[in-house]
Structure 1
Amino acid sequence: MRDTRTRTHTRNRRAALAAVSVTAVLVLVACGGNGGDTGHAGGHRTASSSAGADATAGAHNAQDVSFAQGMVPHHRQALDMAELAADRASSAEVRDLASRIEKAQDPEIRTLSGWLTSWGEPVPASDGSTGSMPGMDHSAGSGMPGMMDGSDMDELEKASGAAFDTMFLTMMTAHHEGAVAMATTERSKGRYGPATSMADDIIAAQTAEIAEMNKAIGKH
């Protein structure tokens, strides 16, 4: 009788222990599964968000590079023209316009050059040479709308007084129209946010200056 009670007690004890063990395993699996899923999902979201932020900040395409490499020498030529106005223009209006062009475009050249450097792309040299970049010859003005060729620049440099004013306004109007065309292409095809934003600024500022110069040409 005692053996029967002992065997019964043992079986009950084993069954209870087994039940506890199964319950513990189920709890651990549930907790581990939930924790793993949460961690994985959370980690995935964080990585995706980080990658998206990096892509937005640094993404650029071939059009952005073309815009920067073209606009650097384009702006430099505008500065060359503007510098001539200081001692050749007879109109205070022309000298003021030239000064504003210098103040606006010189910082943009530095910004554009900085982008190219950060992208590992060649920056056009200060003399306009661009090495292996075709269509970017500063002196010839090929490949970029509104650029003056060498003979145009020589003619402007030799002019003075009212003749210079008229020539400067006419040439700078064409130059600005070219810059607006380049910026319009960047705005529609570029990917790098700061570059498309600069394109918007160029379009707004130079379109206004074109209207100003066309009005001034009528006075001369």
Structure 2
Amino acid sequence: MTRTFTLATLLAAVALLAGACSGSDPSADGGFNDADVAFAQDMIPHHRQAVEMAELAADRSTDPEILGLADEIIAAQGPEIAMMSGWLEQWGEDVPDDMSGMSGMDHGGDMSMPGMMSAEQMSDLMDSSGAEFDRLFLEQMIVHHEGALEMALRQQSEGEFAEAVALAREIEQTQTAEITRMQDLLAS
């Protein structure tokens, strides 16, 4: 009798746990692993720098194509930062500090975040305007996006959390298209 009760209790506990995991808990889709955590913790500052770069366009460029691209980058990457921050919070992991002064930090040598602009590159971008800004913005954002692609591909092969893998696929598609667009703008 005790054995039957224990088995029934165990089955009920498993069913309860399975039901609890079916909500918006990021561990619901097979859990998460170290690659998922690293992806979110690295992509958040990476996206923040891209947003910072894009925000510079508003008062440094008059090219409608550059301004439109910058707005699209801000509109896409801002919500992605919030989503990844939410995952990290739910996983009990550290969310990278919001370093709005990131331009003063040199991430250029950080291999875990490929494509990050150095403090000098950010300064050059901030100090430019007009056609010079447009050229630097496109050149730097292409490199930045290529770094994001590298991170997204790594997440797709090593990540476990389904939503993070899906985001990595979306980043790959969106930023590949934006790289092509930016290369066309540079060539024109």
Residue aligning to 1:140: 106
Q: Which amino acid aligns with 2:44?
A: V
Task: Tell me which stretches of 4 or more aligned residues in structure 1 moved more than 6 Å.
Answer: none
2:47 is matched with which residue? 75
Q: Distance in 1 between matches of 2:19 and 2:35?
A: 21
User: CA 1:53/1:190 → structure 2, altered by over 3 Å: closer, same or farther?
Assistant: farther
TM-fit CA distance, 1:44: 3.8
Instruction: Report the secondary structure of 1:123's partner residue.
Output: coil
- Whether contact under 8 Å (1:74, 1:138) holds in the other structure is no
CA distance in 2, matches of 1:167, 1:218: 13
Shift of 1:197: 0.7
Q: Match of 2:154?
A: 185
Instruction: Point out which structure has higher relative CO (alpha carbons under 8 A, 6+ apart).
Output: 2
Identity over aligned pairs, percent: 44
Aligned mates of 2:32, 2:20 — CA distance in 1? 13
2:93 corresponds, among 112, 118, 121, to 121
Q: Which runs of 5+ in 1 are unaligned?
A: 1-31, 130-136
Distance 1:208 1:120 in 2: 34
Q: Which structure is higher in helix share? A: 1
Amino acid at match of 1:118: Q
Return the TM-score normalized by structure 1.
0.72
The Cα shift of 1:56 comes to 3.8
User: Out of 98, 108, 124, which is 1:155 matched to?
Assistant: 124
Superposition RMSD in Å: 2.7
Gaps of 5+ in 2: 22-26
Contact 2:88/2:94, CA 8 A, preserved across alignment = yes
Q: Matched residues in 1 for 2:20 and 2:163: separation?
A: 14
C-alpha separation in 2, matches of 1:89 and 1:173: 17
Tell me which structure has the larger Cα radius of gyration.
1
CA separation of 1:138/1:114 partners in 2, compared to 1, >3 Å: closer, same or farther? farther
- Whether the 8 Å contact between 2:30 and 2:160 is mirrored in structure 1 is no
| TM-aligned CA distance change 1:40 to 1:122, over 3 Å | closer
Partners of 1:126 and 1:46 lie apart in 2 by: 40
Write out per-residue CA displacement over residues 29-63 of structure 1, whole angstroms, 9 at most, x where no aligned residue: xxx9xxx69x958x749837954983643611000
Matches within 5 A, 1:1-220: 44=11, 47=14, 50-51=17-18, 54=21, 56-57=28-29, 59-127=31-99, 139-141=105-107, 142-143=110-111, 144-219=113-188
Deviations 1:185-210 (A, max 9, x none): 00110011111111011001000000
Change (3 A) 1:110 1:104: same
TM superposition shift of 1:127: 1.3
In the alignment of these two chains, the number of paired residues is 177
Structure 2 counterpart of 1:93, one-letter code:
E
The TM-score normalised by the length of structure 2 is 0.84
What residue identity is the alignment partner of 1:62?
Answer: D
- What displacement does 1:214 show? 0.5
